[in-house]
Amino acid sequence: PLDYEAYHCEGVCDFPLRSHLEPTNHAIIQTLLNSMAPDAAPASCCVPARFSPISILYIDGGNNVVY
């Protein structure tokens, strides 16, 4: 990717929510409401339950690739 936005992770969850995704009660209700009245509530979105570190390369101000 051309850029990376830290502290933001979002993905689409299909209906019906699958149990292995471990949805919250809020996500379940929001998904049901959205399936009955899409204008009443936005679709639920999947977010991570835990994070782990990742390594990135970036180009600094001096045009050097930094790890």
Quickly state the pLDDT bin for 60 (edges 50, 70, 90).
very high
Q: What are the extents of the domains in the chain?
A: 11-66
Measured torsion, CA atoms of residues 25, 26, 31, 33, in degrees rounded to the nearest 10:
110
Distance in angstroms (rounded) separating the CA atoms of residues 14 and 28: 11
Its pTM stands at 0.54
Look over the chain and give the mean of its residue pLDDT values, rounded to a whole number.
82
11-66: CATH topology: Cystine Knot Cytokines, subunit B (2.10.90)
- pLDDT tens-digit profile of 29-59? 988 999 999 999 888 887 777 778 888 888 9
Q: What is the pLDDT of residue 8?
A: 65
